[in-house]
Structures are given as C-alpha cells and as structure tokens.
C-alpha cells in the first residue's frame, strides 16, 4: 500500500484566498481597515531570507500590508528590543514576526517574549504559550505551525477526537503546543523526544504522528511497518542535506524517511510543500484576527466621547441606574485615557489592569492637578464623598473636556454584604458596572488574603518545627540538599546579611551561626500577625489554633482581621514599584523573639512567595463612570486602622496621564493640564491627616487642593440634632429649614477646614445638595466656610444631575488650582526628632482637639519596645471612631478638653508606620440583624438583583 500526500501548498493557497476575500469584504465596509504585518529579520541568512520572501508574498496575496524591517547582523540585542517596543506601541501594526534564528549574541527567548501578546501572531510568546497550556486558557493566538497542522488534519478529513496521537519533539514552538492543541481536541497524546527509549514501540498503534525533532529522516519507514491503523504522518522537519546533484549543493528533507514511510501510512505531508506553506497561511490568518480585534476595540488612541445620561425624576435606585447605562469597552476607555494597548491587561469587557511600564513611558511628563476629596465628620448615613469624587470627575471630563481620572479604593466584601453597602458612588455619579466594582473587581483583595494567610501559616509552622527538632536536624531540613548540593535561597541570604554572617555556603556555618540563623525563637505572646477573611464575621475575632492532635498541643490564642485591615493591603497602597513592594513585604514585623529582637517576614522566608502572589495585584485596575470617564480602582486599606486611601501607583499613573509636556508654554500647559481626583477615607481629620502625613510622605505627591464634602443633614447632627440611624425615618429637623441648628453644626466643618489649612493647602467646600435643603441653608454653609478660611464653598447636585450638576464645583476647583499654590505645604509633624508619644500627641491635639493623651501600660510597653527595635522615627496612624473628632462616637460637633486614650500600639513596619488604637476598635466588623446579602439574588439572565 502507498499512502496519499497531503498537499499543504494547495490547502494553504485556498486558505490565503479565503483570507483575501474576508479582508476585501471588511475593507468594503470600512475603508480604514488595513491589516498590517511587520517582519523583522536580523542578518542575511539565506534560509531566513527565503522564509521572509514567502511571507511577504503571502501577505500581498492576502491583501495584508507587510512592513519588512531588515537589520544587520551586528545589531545589538537592545537595539532589536527597542525596535520591537516601537512596533508594539504602533497602533497601525497588528502583527509582529521576529524571524528566527537570530544571531548568537541575541537572546531569542528574550526578544520573542518582548513582542506584545496581542501582536504575537507567531503564537509562541510566553503569554500565548502559557494560556494554550492552561486547562481553560485563552491565548490571543494559536502558534502558527501547530495551528497549521491541525488545519491540515481537519481539511484532510482526519478524525482527531478519540484518536491516539504521538508527537515526537517537545519544543515550545511546535512539539509542546501541537500536543496541547491535539489534547484540547480530545485526542489522547503522547509526547516523545530525542532521549525517549524505543521510540518505534510508541508508533505501533498511533493514529496521528507529528514529527518535529529537527533531525533529518529521524523516523524510519520501517518503524511504521507494524502499525495496522494506517497512521497519518505530519512531518514538520525542514533540514538541509548535501546533494551534489542539486545546483544549490543541498536539498530539503524532513524529519521522516519519506520514501519508505509512505508505504505504511494513510496520509503524509511532503517536505517541502507540506507544513511549511500552512505556517505562512496561519501567520496571515492570525494577522487578520489581530486586525479584526483592533477594529472591534477602537483601533488606536482616540478622542474621548462621553456616555450620555438618561436622567429620570425621581432618581431611580443606584443599581437601576447602573444597569441601564451600557459601559464602553474597557479597551476604549484605556485608549481615550492615553493608555496603550500593550499597557492594558483586560479582565473582561469593563475592567482591566494597567501595566506599570506606563510610568516609564511617561516619566518625563509634568503631573496633572491633584485633588484630594475628604469630608466632615460623617454620620451613619454617609455624606457622599465617593459620589462627589465621581460627580466631579464626570463634570471635569465629560462636560468641561478635561483629561480627568477619579481614583478610588476597591470595596471590601464586608461592608458590601453587611450594612454599609458598596462604594461606587450613587445616583447619577457612579462607577460602573457597580456590581463588578463592588464584587471582586480583578481579585486583588483575594490575593491579599492569600498572601497574608500564607505568612500566618508559615509563622505557626516555623514555631512548630523549631519546637520539635534540634538545631542540627532542623538546619538540615531547612536548607536541604538537592542533587548533592545545598544552597541558601535568596531570602535566606538576606537573613544571613541581617545577622552579619558573610557566608554563602550552608556547610561553612559554625554551630553558633547555625543556631542564630535557623532558630527564630518566636515569643508566641508577641505575635501580631493574624489571619484575614474578606467578610464581616464577629465569631472570628478570637480563636484558638493548633487544636488538632497532629499539632502536639502547640495551641495559641489568635484571631482574624478583615482582609482590608491586613498590612499587606497597606503595603499595596503605599508601594511605588514591584521591587519596593518586595522590600516592604520583607520588612513586615510579625513578632519578637524571646530576647526582644523583631522577627520579620524576611526571617520567615515568605516575602518572595508573597510578592509572587501579589505581582499582578500591584497593577492598578481601571474602570469607568456612568458618563464614560476613566476611574482607577486600586487597593482598599481599612480606613479605621490604616490609611484609608487608594494606591500611590494609581495616583502616579493618573497624574502622568493627566500631565503635560514640560516643554510647552505655560499658557498651553494650563489649558491642557488634566485632573486627578483621589479620595481619603472618612473625614479630613482621619483620612486626610493620614493621606498627607503617611501617603504623601511615601509618594512625594502633594494635593493642589483639598475638597471637603459637607451636607446640611450632617452639619445639623453636629449642631445638636437628633440621632440618625441607617434605615430609620429622619426626624423633622433634617427635612425642614433650621438655620440655627445648621450654623452651630458648621463649627465641625470649620474645624476640618482649619485642620487642612495647618498644612498650608487651599480648601474648597463641596456642599452636597439634598432635596430637603434650602438656598438659605446653603448660604449659611458658604458664609461659615469662607469665615473658616476656605477658598470657596460651592453647591453641587451631582447625585441628581450627574456631571452636569457638578460643573460649578469643577470650575471653582479649576480656578483655585490656577490661582493658589501648594508650594508652602508642610507636614503636621516631623518623623525624626520627635518621640512616638509626641507624634501621637501632635495628631490628637492639633487634629482632634484633645487636651491630653493617655497611654495605657500596654501601649507604653509597646512604644518602648518599638523604639528599642529602631522603629521610633516612623509616622503614626491612629485608629479611632469615624463618628466623632474624638475617640467617643457620642461626642458630636467640636469636642474639646477631653483626654485621648491610647490602649495599644502596633507596628506596620512594611507599610512604614506605627498605628495606635484609641478605645475599642474592631479590626473585623460583625454582621447586622438584617444583612445586605439577604437582598441579593441572581436572575435567569445572570444579572445580580437586590444588591443596593
């Protein structure tokens, strides 16, 4: 029997014709549609030049524009990488091919990996190969040769599902991906390679044999003789062998002994004329796919177009408003914001992560204007900071046509399913889709939880093993031998450096050095690191761990915090780069040794793994408002015990994107500068103080103006009005005009204005309008605001009118940022030269109005310990109630003369501050009787109902 030849050349010609027809049809609908391929060749290798000519010819036949970049062999690796980067960032280029092989002085893997995944039409870059090999992966492109092989099989009517396939060769370009593809099509696949013993035995019952081993005529025809299935053989090899009968002096042969193999097979590909033409055809098809994707997602950096609002009266529920508005594709939002496709990592259609390399690209830009939104002391009903932040962004971006970003924290599941609700804003000033915003976003909080709990598990495990083993045995297991060699891990080398042990060979340590290095001797009573969970669960506030018999009685009392209270979350918010985050994670102090030395995450050996878990989390997320302006959603540190602000990296990205070319004339800069509106948790005295003294200290970014949000309702509460409770009817004082009560309550607003002015920053009061307000009440707030030192106080109706209702506020902020300066900014206290007690006292007296500060014995002991451990020069964060300027939620208005209690002080060394706890502050909230989750359902269309 003689097998039939699979004519790859003819099949490829047919496919190229189909591609040409589709390109022509799409061009007829959209003349701007121009699929564009870039081919980069380094050197003058004859074989490479031949392949490039084939690709250029195929592109022309398919109606695809092809740019040929021919570089000399002496081109450096960096020059080549720079050229690839240029092609990555060129929106007119849809596909990039780097012709292999490259000269020996260039790292092929490094160069091919540099090609943007969305333009990697070869399909063997790390992202596409990685996705291909995942169980439910989604590569942008299938590798061309493996894809061509599968297409050959399909068009030759070969049944793949249920077949037995053997792939000879395990390269990342052909062998491994073709095996993955065949497996995904339900073939049972066996991968062989050059070191596999008795290869013929594997071929006896194979239905499909793919040979890609790179050795001329490696598979002998005789090997197929015993196969009774009449296999299909796909020969991927392209080898040159000497042949004096040829004019060129050589001829092409495959990896299969063709003349003998054809006797025992059903189908076989020739060389040349088999797989080779299909590879080129698949390159063209992948280029077309890339161009079609670009067409569907906006195509290039483009002009901003706002989403129109369909406003109704009365205003529907927040969720109804969110669901009615159809968001733009997130790639469009990114393009409008100035984010290149290569810098965007989409998570579905409405949210994405932004790569930190954007900061390198825009490093020379001057920053945009930086607006900090805070509030007066809130009531349980909330005063609309998030709504104001979003409404102001919509006004500046959608109505005044300024490049604008709203920067907010990611909500925790705790409040979302508890009683507070989400944090997307409200009315016609929201982040959308609000369900995706309030549920998970891109999973950052979950990554924080895993990283935090990995360290918690590592601590208990380390204590257990140290307690059950002697030094020598423990050291042997801690630094094990692999293949006869013992090596310190990078994190172990860091610990050795900390201990002053200048040795890198584990076998060189003395017994005393082994003991110092290996045994941390953690004092269980000093452990401050707790496990976390992202929900309100009061029954986890205190637990006992180690109850299982396997733990041999090593129990201890501990508890859980809510995930957003984890120091890992604060580190995420305050990190300025991935390497900075790695260093901060390593500096986390989890306990003290029995001799009083601080024990860090680096000592435990966990920092590298935690960084791995958080390496994607550090990339800010981008979403949009109801009117289609961009929103960075990143980090969510607990506002009671942490800084309560979004990330430094999100702010830096937004400020660069909203920035201007430093070489522009000043009048042009002023006209073109954009705005970044960032929010601080709770009121200015808590969120604003921490923002300036901790976040700004770490970032070097100083706000151009502070916006303090106030409502008539809240100011009446602080004027002595009746108590308000969420879900309960409002007393009449809040729905009727009461100027006397309001003016008295304005003392609270005045205190916040005065507090902000202590930093020498301009202040604008945003009067968040409610339907029961009167013009006279608004006038009273304006009068009292100006009297207290505010630059302006402006009524804003963004909840009811969206961005249109905040135009006056936006114009007022533009005016203030143009006319007033933050150049005289100064911190509330110096970190060096002041004791921890003095810094806490400065905040309590200058911000809260306390007369004295009282430290419990435990708090003072902790302060003394941290000073001894070298942490006395850090800034301080004070955890207290948000419902009063003081520590007592019942003290409204502007309490004075009180003694401020500090019951405990803890260290967040990785985040870079100490935090003091005033009175009783819960680090994991509890659920109310009627919980938010009780209202939530999912309808038959998969839409969430009843969330808010």
The catalytic site residues sit at 55, 99, 122
Cα 35 from chain centroid (whole Å): 31
Distance CA(436)–CA(422), nearest Å, equals: 11
Q: What does the H/E/C string look like for 543-601?
A: EEECCCHHHCCCCEEECEEEHHHCHHHHHHHHCCCHHHHHHHHHHCEEEEECCCCEEEH
Q: Distances from the Cα of 703 to the Cαs of 370, 758, 817, in angstroms? A: 5, 14, 10
Residue 887 buriedness (CB in 10 A; 0-12 / 13-18 / 19+): buried
Residues 99, 101, 105, 108, CA torsion sign: positive
Distance CA(386)–CA(768), nearest Å, equals: 11
User: What is the pairing mode between strands 556-558 and 543-545?
Assistant: antiparallel
Among 808, 792, 760, 703, which residue's Cα sits nearest to residue 369?
703
**Contact indicator for 863, 799 with CB cutoff of 8 Å:** no
Distance CA(148)–CA(151), nearest Å, equals: 5
**Contact indicator for 802, 388 with CB cutoff of 8 Å:** no
**Contact indicator for 421, 387 with CB cutoff of 8 Å:** no
User: What is the pairing mode between strands 852-855 and 899-902?
Assistant: parallel
**Contact indicator for 904, 858 with CB cutoff of 8 Å:** yes
**Contact indicator for 203, 223 with CB cutoff of 8 Å:** yes
Decide: helix, strand or coil at residue 153. Answer: helix
Q: Distances from the Cα of 81 to the Cαs of 76, 115, 128, in angstroms? A: 9, 9, 19
Backbone phi, then psi, for 260, in 5-degree steps?
-90, -40
Q: What is the CA radius of gyration of the chain?
A: 33
User: What is the pairing mode between strands 589-592 and 598-600?
Assistant: antiparallel
Which helix (H) or strand (E) segment holds residue 395: the answer is none
Distance CA(79)–CA(100), nearest Å, equals: 16
Sequential DSSP letters for 904-935: EEEEETTTTEEEEE-S---SS----SS-GGGG
Distance CA(256)–CA(253), nearest Å, equals: 8
Q: Which DSSP symbol is given to 423?
A: -
Among 717, 713, 766, 710, which residue's Cα sits nearest to residue 735?
713
Decide: helix, strand or coil at residue 742. Answer: helix
Q: What do you get for the CA distance between the two ends of the chain, in Å?
A: 73
Backbone phi, then psi, for 379, in 5-degree steps?
-105, 170
User: Where are the alpha helices (H) located in 303-432, listed in sequence order?
Assistant: 318-324, 330-337, 357-361, 385-394, 413-417
Distance CA(600)–CA(590), nearest Å, equals: 6
User: What is the pairing mode between strands 164-168 and 208-211?
Assistant: parallel
Q: What does the H/E/C string look like for 484-495?
A: CEECCCHHHHHH
Residue 305 buriedness (CB in 10 A; 0-12 / 13-18 / 19+): exposed
**Contact indicator for 707, 372 with CB cutoff of 8 Å:** yes
Q: What does the H/E/C string look like for 208-271?
A: EEEECCCCCCCECHHHHCCCCCCCEEEECCCEEEECCCCCCCEEEECCECHHHHHHHCCEECCC
């Amino acid at each position: 029997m003689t097998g039939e030849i699979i004519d790859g050349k003819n099949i490829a010609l047919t496919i190229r014709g189909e591609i040409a027809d589709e390109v022509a049809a799409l061009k007829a609908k959209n003349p701007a549609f121009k699929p564009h391929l870039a081919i980069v060749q380094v050197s003058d290798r004859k074989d490479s030049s031949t392949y490039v000519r084939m690709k250029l010819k195929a592109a022309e036949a398919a109606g695809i524009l092809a740019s040929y970049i021919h570089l000399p062999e002496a081109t450096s690796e960096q020059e080549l990488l720079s050229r690839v980067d240029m092609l990555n960032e060129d929106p007119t280029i849809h596909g990039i091919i780097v012709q292999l092989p490259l000269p020996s002085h260039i790292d092929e893997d490094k160069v091919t990996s540099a090609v943007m995944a969305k333009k990697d039409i070869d399909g063997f870059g790390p992202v596409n190969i990685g996705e291909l090999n995942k169980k439910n992966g989604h590569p942008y492109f299938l590798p061309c040769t493996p894809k061509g092989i599968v297409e050959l099989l399909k068009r030759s009517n070969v049944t793949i599902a249920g077949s037995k396939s053997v792939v000879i060769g395990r390269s990342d370009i052909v062998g491994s991906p073709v095996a993955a593809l065949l497996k995904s099509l339900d073939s049972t696949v066996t991968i062989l390679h050059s070191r596999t013993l008795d290869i013929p035995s594997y071929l006896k019952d194979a239905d499909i044999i793919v040979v890609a081993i790179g050795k001329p005529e490696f598979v002998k025809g005789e090997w197929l003789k015993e196969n009774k299935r009449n296999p299909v053989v796909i020969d991927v090899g392209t080898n040159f062998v000497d042949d004096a009968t040829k004019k060129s002096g050589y001829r092409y042969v495959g990896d299969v002994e063709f003349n003998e193999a054809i006797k025992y097979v059903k189908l076989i590909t020739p060389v040349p004329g088999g797989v080779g033409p299909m590879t080129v055809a698949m390159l063209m098809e992948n280029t077309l796919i890339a161009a079609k994707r670009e067409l569907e997602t906006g195509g290039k950096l483009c002009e901003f177009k706002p989403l129109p609002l369909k406003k109704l009266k009365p205003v529907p529920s927040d969720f109804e408003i969110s669901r009615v508005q159809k968001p733009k594709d997130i790639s469009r939002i990114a393009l409008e914001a100035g984010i290149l496709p290569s810098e965007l990592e989409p998570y579905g259609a409405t949210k994405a992560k932004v790569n930190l390399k954007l900061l390198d690209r825009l490093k020379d830009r001057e920053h945009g204007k930086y607006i900090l939104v805070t509030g007066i002391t809130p009531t349980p009903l909330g005063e609309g900071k998030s709504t104001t932040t979003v409404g102001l962004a919509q006004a500046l971006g959608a109505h005044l046509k300024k490049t604008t970003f709203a920067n907010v924290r990611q909500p925790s599941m705790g409040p979302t399913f508890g009683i507070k609700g989400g944090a997307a804003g409200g009315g016609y000033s929201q982040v959308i889709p609000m369900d995706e915003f309030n549920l998970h976003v891109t999973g950052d909080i979950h990554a924080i939880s895993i990283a935090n709990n990995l360290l918690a598990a590592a601590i208990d495990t380390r204590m257990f093993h140290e307690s059950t083993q002697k030094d020598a045995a423990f050291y042997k297991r801690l630094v094990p031998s692999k293949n006869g060699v013992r090596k310190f891990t990078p994190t172990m080398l860091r610990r050795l450096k900390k201990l002053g042990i200048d040795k890198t060979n584990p076998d060189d340590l003395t017994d005393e050095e082994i003991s110092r290095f290996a045994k941390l001797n953690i004092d269980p009573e000093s452990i401050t690191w707790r496990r976390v969970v992202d929900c309100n669960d009061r029954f986890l506030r205190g637990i006992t761990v180690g109850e299982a018999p396997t733990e041999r009685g090593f129990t201890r009392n501990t508890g859980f915090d809510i995930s957003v209270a984890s120091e890992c979350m604060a580190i995420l918010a305050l990190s300025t780069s991935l390497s900075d985050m790695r260093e901060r994670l390593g500096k986390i102090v989890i306990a003290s040794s029995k001799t009083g030395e601080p024990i860090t995450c680096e000592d435990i050996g966990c920092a590298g793994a935690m960084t791995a878990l958080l390496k994607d989390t550090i990339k800010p997320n981008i979403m949009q408002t109801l009117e289609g302006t961009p929103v960075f959603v990143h980090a969510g540190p607990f506002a009671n015990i942490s800084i309560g602000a979004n990330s430094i990296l999100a702010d830096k990205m937004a400020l660069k994107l909203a920035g201007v070319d430093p070489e522009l004339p000043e009048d042009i800069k002023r006209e073109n500068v954009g705005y970044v509106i960032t929010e601080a948790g709770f009121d200015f005295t808590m969120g604003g103080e921490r923002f300036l003294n901790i976040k700004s200290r770490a970032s070097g970014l100083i706000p151009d103006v502070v916006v303090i949000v106030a409502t008539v309702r809240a100011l009446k509460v602080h004027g002595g009005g009746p108590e308000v409770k969420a879900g309960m009817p409002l007393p009449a004082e809040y729905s009727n005009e009461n100027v006397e009560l309001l003016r008295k309550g304005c003392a609270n607003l005045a205190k916040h204005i005065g507090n902000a002015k202590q930093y020498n920053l301009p202040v604008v009061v945003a009067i968040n309008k409610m339907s029961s307000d009167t013009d006279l009440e608004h006038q009273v707030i304006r009068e009292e605001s100006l009297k207290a030192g505010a630059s302006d106080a402006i009524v804003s109706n963004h909840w009811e009118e969206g961005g249109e209702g905040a135009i006056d506020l936006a114009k007022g902020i533009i005016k203030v940022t143009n006319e007033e300066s933050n150049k005289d900014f100064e911190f509330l206290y110096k970190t060096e030269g002041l004791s921890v007690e003095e810094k806490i006292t400065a905040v309590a007296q200058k911000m809260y109005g306390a007369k004295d500060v009282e430290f419990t014995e435990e708090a003072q002991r902790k302060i003394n310990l941290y000073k001894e451990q070298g942490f006395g020069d850090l800034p301080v964060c004070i955890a207290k109630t948000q419902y009063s300027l003081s520590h007592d939620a019942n003290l409204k208005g502007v309490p004075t003369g009180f003694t401020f209690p500090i019951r405990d002080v803890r260290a967040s060394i990785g985040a870079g501050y100490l935090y003091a706890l005033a009175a009783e502050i819960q680090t994991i909230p509890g659920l109310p009787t009627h919980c938010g989750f009780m209202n939530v359902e999912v309808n038959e269309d998969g839409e969430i109902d009843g969330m808010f």
